[in-house]
Amino acid sequence: MKLQEITKDLNITCDFDIEVFGLNTLKDASANQISFLENTKYIQDLKDTKAGAVFVNEELKNEVPKDTIALVCQNPYIALAMASKYFAMAIVEIDGNNPIVGEKCTIMENVSIGKNTIIGQNCIIMAGAFIGDNVTLGDNVLIYPNVVIYRDCVVGNDVIIHAGTVIGSDGFGFAHTKDGKYIKIYQNGNVVIGDDVEIGSNCSIDRAAFSSTIIKNGVRIDNLVHIAHNCIIGQGSILVGQVGLAGSTILDEYVVMAGQSGATGHLRIAPFTTVSARCGVSKTITEPKKQWAGFPMMEHKSWLKLNGKLSRLLKKDNK
């Protein structure tokens, strides 16, 4: 679309015009994409951005690089949400090529496969599975009953996905107005799953708002795990049952997250970290090979000592 077509609909004054192909983050946006800044914590990203245009408020317009168009508005996040609908993908492709299925595949009854989808060799797709448009499955993929893979997602080789799991559903993205109305941010990215990954039953892995939610090679995911939009799960990591990761969480390689643990969004967990059961990770972990527990989180040894002292205090009070 032309930039001025978008800004006219959003009632934003814009004296310049460029061809716009999508939205992206300040770090990743190119000259034909729009980005935004809502939180001053990312002011340096604004100064370094290569975006063609950026939604900003009046206070930050002078921080926009000279080669980037400042789209001044009262609420940049709401403007982004409203602009995202212009780049939303079709829910179902009406036109396109029939799916390509590789040799020695077993496709059971009641499987739906969308347009332009490519399925590798030696795959098994069981009854009730839904494989959307423009999906790519590698070789030796095993899809159990009632798995749903939304459009545009990519699955590598030697992947197992157990029953009831959903890959590529919309991330939880909404901007809210002053009067409490929620405006949907269309999730225009996808999910990319590497090789040798196993995903348990009834998991949800959300598609990215921009770019990709990424599950790297060798990851193991237990049942009932939720991975939000734009997360990156590092090679060989393990996520045990009922783990929940908020958006844009990055796990480096070989992180272990035990049952019912979780992480708030926009943080990074160092390699070979172990997060104990029910621990809540609320800040970035930079030092590798440590174990954490509790909420607020602390090193596991300290958590054990704290609980030992509390137990002794309770015993004294009961005497």
Q: What is the pLDDT of residue 310?
A: 84
How far, in Å, CA of 303 to CA of 117, rounded?
49
Residue 136, pLDDT score: 98
144 and 212 co-located in one domain: yes
Residue 308 within a domain: no
Q: How high is the pLDDT of residue 147?
A: 98
Residue 137's DSSP bridge partners are 119, 155
Residue pair 123/142 in contact (Cβ under 8 Å)? The answer is yes
Boundaries of domain holding 12: 3-87
Q: Over the chain, what HEC string results?
A: CEHHHHHHHCCCCCCCCCECCEECCCCCCCCCEEEECCCHHHHHHHHHCCCCEEEECHHHHHHCCCCCEEEECCCHHHHHHHHHHHHCCCCCCCCCCCCEECCCCEECCCCEECCCCEECCCCEECCCCEECCCCEECCCCEECCCCEECCCCEECCCCEECCCCEEEECCCCEEECCCCCEEECCCCCEEEECCCCEECCCCEEECCCCCEEEECCCCEECCCCEECCCCEECCCCEECCCCEECCCCEECCCCEECCCCEECCCCEECCCCEECCCCEECCCECCCCCEEECCCCEEHHHHHHHHHHHHHHHHHHCC
Instruction: Give domain status of residue 94, yes or no.
Output: no
Instruction: Tell me what pLDDT residue 58 has.
Output: 92
The number of distinct structural domains making up the chain is 2
Please check the confidence at residue 69 and state whether its pLDDT lies above 70: yes
Give residue 160's pLDDT. Answer: 98
Please indicate, yes or no, if residue 317 is contained in any of the structural domains.
no
Each residue's pLDDT tens digit, 198-217: 999 999 999 999 999 999 99
Quick one: 137 and 275 in the same domain?
Answer: yes
Q: Is the model's pLDDT at 85 over the cut of 70?
A: yes
Whether residues 16 and 109 share a domain: the answer is no
Mean pLDDT is lowest, of 87-91, 215-219, 236-240, for 87-91
Give pTM, 2 decimals: 0.93
- 305 torsion bin: left (phi>0), alpha (psi -120 to 50), beta (else): alpha
Per-residue confidence at 157, pLDDT binned at 50, 70, 90?
Answer: very high
Q: For all residues of the chain together, what is the average pLDDT? A: 95
Assess whether 107 and 82 both reside in one domain.
Answer: no
CA distances from 140 to 157, 197, 271 (A): 6, 11, 29
Residue 244 pLDDT level (bands cut at 50, 70, 90):
very high
Residue 316 pLDDT grade (very low, low, confident, very high; cuts 50, 70, 90): confident
**Which of 115-119, 178-182, 259-263, 306-310 shows the lowest mean pLDDT across its residues?**
306-310
Work out the average pLDDT over 188-206: 98
* Lowest pLDDT segment from 132-146, 183-197, 264-278, 291-305: 291-305
pLDDT of residue 139: 98
- The more confidently predicted of residues 1 and 163 is 163
Query: What are the distances in angstroms from CA 305 to CA 167, 287, 300, 301?
Result: 41, 21, 9, 6
Residues 249 and 149 in one domain: yes
Cα separation, 204 vs 216, in Å, equals: 16
User: Do 139 and 277 share a structural domain?
Assistant: yes
Does one domain contain both 146 and 231? yes
C-alpha R_g of the chain? 22
Residue 319 lies in a domain: no
Residue 22 has pLDDT above 90, yes or no: yes
Q: Does 129 share its domain with 54?
A: no
Same domain, 162 and 36: no
- Classify residue 92: in a domain, yes or no: no
pLDDT in tens, 261-304: 999 999 999 999 999 999 999 999 999 999 999 998 999 999 88
Report, as residue numbers or ranges, the catalytic residues: 229
Tell me: do 215 and 75 sit in the same domain: no
Task: Evaluate whether residue 315 is within a structural domain.
Answer: no
Residue 109 has pLDDT above 80, yes or no: yes
pLDDT category at 315 given cuts 50, 70, 90 is confident
Residue 237 amino acid letter: S
Residue 305 lies inside a defined structural domain of this protein: no
| End-of-domain residue from the set 38, 56, 87 | 87
Residues 130 and 274 in one domain: yes
CATH number at residue 226: 2.160.10.10
Average pLDDT over residues 69-81: 95
Of the three residues 35, 52, 87, the one that is the final residue of a domain is 87
Question: Is residue 173 very low, low, confident or very high in pLDDT (cuts 50, 70, 90)?
Answer: very high
Cβ distance 218 to 235 under 8 Å? yes
Closest CA to 161 of 221, 236, 238, 121: 221
What proportion of the chain, given as a percentage, has pLDDT over 70? Answer: 100
- Asked if the structure places residue 312 within a domain, the reply is no
Tokens linked to 173: 């993205």
Same domain, 112 and 249: yes
pLDDT of 319 over the 70 cut: no
> What CATH number does residue 25 fall under?
3.40.1390.10
**Of 26, 58, 87, which residue constitutes the final position of a domain?**
87
